[in-house]
Amino acid sequence: MPRIAQTVNVFPMIKHQLKNISKIVFYLIGGLIILATVSVKNVSASINFSDCPSPGTICFGNNRNIEYIRGNLPIIISAPHGGYLTPAQIPSRTSGSCGGGSIITARDIGSQEYTREVADLIHQSTGRWPHIIINHLHRSRLDANRPISSAACGSSLAEEAWREFHSAIDFAKGLSTNQCGRGHYFDFHTNWHNNANEQYVEMGNLLVASQLRFSDLHLDTGLCGGASCVNESSLRSLVRNEGVTLSQALRGVNSLGTILQRRGFRSTPSQQIPSPTGRFFNGGYNTGHHGSKYGGVIDGTQVETNLYMINSASGVTSYSRSLAPSILDFLNANYQNFDLRDTDRNGIICQVSRVTSSPSPTPPRAGSVTPPPGSSPTPPGGQLPTPTPVRGTYNFPLAQLFDFSPRLSDLESVFENVVRGVLGFTLIILFIMIIIGGYKYLTSGGDPKSLESAKATLTYAIAGVLLISLSYLILILIQETTGTNITNFRLVVP
């Protein structure tokens, strides 16, 4: 017993030191809570959609790498590979950093430009805006048409931009669903296929070239791989709910490829070119992820424009003037109750209808798109010249586009490491305090002073654990209330 009492007498000094440490820790945690609360706007890791409350207004993500233009049409258009920015803070994507394999880093020339022109022309035609999502990072820094691991290749800033890009698409899909009950997502790209038999616009709906060579009957009722061709496509919702067959949606009289071909730009699949005659992009990550193959009511199409069609500013304009009305004709012809041009002038462009998944495609409905006057099936000719970057003038408020805030990625890393270290050290100290408090309580022998000391130690330790937990819950509450991701520290100078 004397030996135990002698051991207990060591605790007053330990208790005094632990009290001082615990006070410092409590003040530090409180400071972090205050810092997170008052800096909510400066540490956002996502797009604040309240910054673009009305159609045609722009929201940017952190560092202005991702741009979202809010729309009020059930049309969503993205340009994942048209960016120019190569910030030093984001390392180049390499085979090594991306986990091996070949890495494509070439920018899709002209894709951002024709995305903007198509959006502007749709606005001129309808008085309404499609939703636009543009990745401003060069493909060497971010490939937004890949899963995040191979898209960002380990860069936290690139991963942040990837999440912003796809969250903007998801946000636009939600608005389109609420507005019209369905909609269509278009992913705009440029390809370099320079053989004569490959110079066409490739409409990718996830079916590969060999599957597009199937008969119409097979596409409508047969299998593509282990599932029906309908379920393997990104047009699943369109076929199941709008009264058209898959073959009609892909290459019928009202298909996007056929309509665009009638306006003078060779396209496949279409009535004129039912299946590809050469290389063919059938749709990438974005079309699969955001189309209707895996459910939902937003269909998807990857539009792969051949570079020879848009290799100049005049080429971009000519092509956009055909693609924009073709998209509107395609949607009006294939989606029931769509009148995106509001031809009745009643302010109603669509009606929300309850969509269901029928076990098989329903019979096609009547109606077709009349070829526009003066249209020609002959595509624009010419050889593929040396590609050059295309920059144009567009009717978008882009004066702020290149007004970038300073990057503080180095300080972000230091700050995150310090916070992790402090929290880890704090939890260790609190754990030790709980052990010491418990030991003091067991060895108090009923002595009131020893019991009081043990209770105080346990109280401090438990209060510390609770305070840390409460701190994190407060951060989560702020995040859920404001939509700002403040658990991922990012510092931006206002």
CA 21 to chain centre: 44
Q: What are phi and psi of 223, to 5 degrees?
A: -105, 145
Tell me the mean pLDDT in the region 427-454: 81
How would residue 61 be classed by pLDDT, with cut points 50, 70 and 90?
Answer: very high
Q: What are phi and psi of 301, to 5 degrees?
A: -140, 130
More confident call, 484 vs 340: 340
Q: Do the beta carbons of residue 274 and residue 248 sit within 8 Å?
A: no
The pTM of this model reads 0.66
In single-letter form, the type of residue at position 262 comes to R
Tell me the mean pLDDT in the region 102-120: 95
- Specify the pLDDT at position 337: 87
Q: Is the pLDDT of residue 388 over 70?
A: no
Neighbours of 486 (CB within 10 A): 22
Alpha helices in 263-312 (DSSP H): 285-290
Q: Is the pLDDT of residue 48 over 90?
A: no
- Specify the pLDDT at position 364: 30
Tell me the mean pLDDT in the region 386-412: 35
pLDDT digits (tens, 9 = 90+) for 447-472: 888 788 888 888 888 888 888 888 77
Integer Cα distance of 407 and 393 in angstroms: 28
Q: Is the pLDDT of residue 486 over 80?
A: no
Nearest to 301 by CA among 187, 425, 469, 161: 187
Q: Is the pLDDT of residue 190 over 80?
A: yes
- Specify the pLDDT at position 360: 34
More confident call, 90 vs 27: 90
Integer Cα distance of 484 and 101 in angstroms: 36
- Specify the pLDDT at position 215: 97
Give the tokens for residue 170: 């998801």
Collapsing DSSP states into helix, strand and coil, what is residue 224?
strand
How would residue 487 be classed by pLDDT, with cut points 50, 70 and 90?
Answer: low
- The kind and range of the H/E element at 305 are strand 298-306
Collapsing DSSP states into helix, strand and coil, what is residue 401?
coil
